[in-house]
Structure 1
Amino acid sequence: MTRAPGRPIRARRGGLAVLAVVLGMLVPLVQLGTASAAPPRPASIRVDAVLSAITAPDGTPASAVPSALVVAGQPFSIEVSFYDADGQPAAFSQDTTLAISTSAGSTNLPVPATGVAPGGATSATLSTTLAAPANQVSVTVSVPGLGGPRGVAPGTSTPAQRFDVLSSLRFEASAPETPFSAAVGGTDGCADATEAQPVCGIVTLPRGAVSSSVLLSTGLCDRAYARCGSSRGTVIQFLADLGGLYTPSAPAAVLVRCDKTLCGTGSIKKMGLSYSLLGNGALAAAPACPAKSTLGADQEACVDYVQSTRDNAGDTLLVLLLTRDARISVS
């Protein structure tokens, strides 16, 4: 009689012991079922975007905005992502050094020239600078020592992602129906051009701009993309929302001043200006205007040779008429 009450108690303990063993076996199974698989190892890199903290004034026509507003000596970012052999997102198992190179030339190397892909991340953002101006720059991101067919294929920016590295850039305040005038490049407000700085410009907007500011910049001259007569020149750019304030019979104007050491002293009508209304488009020669202060019906820009002149110092002053923002060079 004294043993009977104890038997059920031992049985219950045994049952609890068995239950504890079963639960101990289930826990790892549950953990295995909920754990996510690590991304596969990358086989290639893709350049997703080249970005700058600088943005064009609100309302600037989208086609006129460069892919990235990059200024010499100022940082810009490169966004990249990683993919496996099947084109699926991939990641390095640990922090991995990435190398940055550009088409800006062997004497204009990116600083820093490396960045880091965080371990386990399928994308990364790299920051670098280029010290000197350049045109139509492309970037390539690679993994040092992991090239070749069995390595990680580098990523290079697309033609649409190419960008110009500008010499200078600033913003000037503007408002609609408030006359605007500002110099671009040169010295002393472009009152004079010198052999050292032979090209500058003055942007004149008689009715101002709809945007609260106008972006003014200078860039590198070359004979192909910028269609400059000499690499000593300057590409002048202004970006703004002109909001229909200007018409062919009441246009905006850019006066381009060119030093005699660059533009000579011959006939003004033999001189020309090149322009582009596209943020990354190659410049093309501007036609002559049909009359003073007037664009032709089929013209988006023209050189007003009636108002163009040469001053007492021998500088050539060419006037470009237009109804919206542009990039301009002496051709």
Structure 2
Amino acid sequence: MRATRSSKTPRRRRLALVLALLGSLIAAVGGLVVSTASAASPAPVTIVIDGVTSDVQAPTGTPGAAVPYVLVQAGGTIHVRVSFYDVYGAPASFQKDTPLVITSDQGGPTPATVTAPRGMTSVTLDTSLPVAANQVSLTVSVPGKAGRTVTPGTSTADQRFDVVNELRFVDSAPNSSFEQGIGGDDSNCQYATPADPVCGTLILPHGAQSSQVLLSLGVCDTTYAGCGSTSGAVVQALAQLDGLYTDTDPAALLIKCDKTLCAGGAIQDQHLSFSLNGNDALATAEACPAKATLGAGQDACVDYVQSKRDGSGDTLLYLLFTQDMRGSVG
């Protein structure tokens, strides 16, 4: 009898122990399932601007450094790519459609508010700027109370871009003379006027290697060196010119400046600024050593021998170069 009771007791204990362990295992597994199912994705706490683009591309073959970060005319569409990140730095998404506000340090974009769809970790926001400006910086933020926990995204230094007044493409070909203006009285720079005191005419005696040339006219201000008056302008020419021009056989940009801006004094007292790079500040161009000739080591120069004042008193300045550039007077 004692042996019988003794043999049954351990079995009950083992059974109880097995049941207890099984119950614990079920409870633990059940807890994991509930935790995973109820956990929401972390909310975005940071917005990052990944890039800004437009629908305009430089002519094929244009040197990369000569191309601005963005090519866009006032009123043209710009595409702002943004991404969202959680507190751990991982991609995150909003749990409902969320409005995002786009602001600029150079005037108000249109539209100013664009919706980010729920569930998206990155989106592209389309907007535009109504007026020309230099070195535009954008900020994208969540408005109102919801934005208190989300750090806005702001353009980095290398994402700043210019918005120009005029921009157009003109057909071209190698070894075919090219002369085309932008701005002025007729948007072809026949004359500079008091209302549009600076315009430019691109002169390519041997044409361009690219099938098109891009011309643009932007504002001249203190953002870029050499712009002492906001009445001035920045003329930009982009094309592939490889092998067509030399220091003694250069291309030229004829800058016309109305007498209301460039009157008085000697021609040599009028200065032009230039840059070979699309995103750099402009530097004052030196005088050419001789007519139609760049000096040794000169990227561009002002040909004061050819430069003159016309019968109306307007100033005509010739900027010589051998590759794509931006030039200004102001």
If the length of structure 1 is used for normalisation, what is the TM-score? Answer: 0.86
Task: Trace 1:85-104 onto structure 2 (pairs within 5 A).
Answer: 85-104=87-106
Q: Partners of 1:77 and 1:239 in 2: how far apart?
A: 22
- After TM superposition, the structure 1 = structure 2 runs for residues 124-273 of structure 1, keeping only pairs within 5 Å, are 124-146=123-145, 151-188=149-186, 189-225=188-224, 227-273=226-272
Distance 1:214 1:159 in 2: 28
Percent identical pairs in the alignment equals: 58
Kept in 2: contact 1:292–1:307 (CA 8 A): yes
SS of the aligned residue for 1:238 comes to strand
Tell me the equivalent position of 1:305. Answer: 304
Structure 1 residue aligned with 2:59: 57
Residues 289 and 305, structure 1, Cα contact 8 Å, conserved in 2: yes
CA drift of 1:201 comes to 1.0
TM-score, with structure 2 as normaliser: 0.86
CA distance in 2, matches of 1:290, 1:193: 27
Equivalent residues of 2:135, 2:223 under 8 A apart: no
| 2:80 is the alignment partner of 1:78 | yes
| One-letter amino acid of the counterpart of residue 111, structure 2 | P
The whole-number CA distance in structure 1 between the counterparts of 2:191 and 2:136 is: 31
Q: Tell whether the 8 Å contact from 2:52 to 2:81 is kept in structure 1 after alignment.
A: yes
SS in 2 for 1:257: strand
- CA shift in 2, pair 1:208/1:91, >3 Å: same
Instruction: Name the CA shift for 1:140/1:147 in 2 (closer, same or farther; >3 Å).
Output: farther
Contact 1:71–1:133 (Cα < 8 Å) also in 2 = yes
Aligned to 2:48: 46
| 2-structure distance, mates of 1:250, 1:330 | 24
**What secondary structure is seen at the aligned counterpart in 2 of 1:135?**
strand
Q: Does 1:67 align with 2:65?
A: no
Cα drift, residue 117 of structure 1: 1.2
Contact 2:220 2:329 in 1 (8 A): no
4+ residue runs over 4 A deviation: none
Query: CA deviation digits over 1:205-230, x for unaligned, max 9?
Result: 11111111000110011134152231
**1:118 and 2:117 matched:** yes
The whole-number CA distance in structure 1 between the counterparts of 2:178 and 2:217 is: 18
CA distance, structure 2, for counterparts of residue 144 and residue 196 of structure 1: 40
Judged with a 3 Å threshold, the aligned counterparts in structure 2 of structure 1 residues 123 and 231 are, in CA distance, closer, same or farther, namely same
Superposed CA deviations along residues 90-141 of structure 1, whole A, max 9, x for unmatched, are 111111110100110xxx3111101111101100111111111111001000
Distance in 1, Cα, partners of 2:112 & 2:193 = 36
* Equivalences, count: 298
Task: Give per-residue Cα distances to partners, 1:29-72, cap 9 Å, x unaligned.
Answer: 9xx7x99x864211100000111001110111111111111211
Q: Which structure 1 residue ranges, 5 or more long, are not aligned?
A: 1-28
Q: CA deviation at 1:250?
A: 0.9
Amino acid aligned to 2:216: S
Give the C-alpha shift of residue 278 in structure 1. Answer: 1.0
Report the alpha carbon displacement of residue 283 of structure 1 after superposing the two structures with TM.
0.7
Partner of 1:24: none
Alpha-carbon contact 1:116-1:124 (below 8 Å) kept: no
CA distance, structure 1, for counterparts of residue 232 and residue 282 of structure 2: 14
Distance in 1, matches of 2:191 and 2:68, equals: 29
Aligned to 1:9: none
Paired residue type of 2:76: Q
How many Å apart are 1:247 and its aligned residue?
A: 1.0
CA distance in 2, matches of 1:263, 1:147: 53
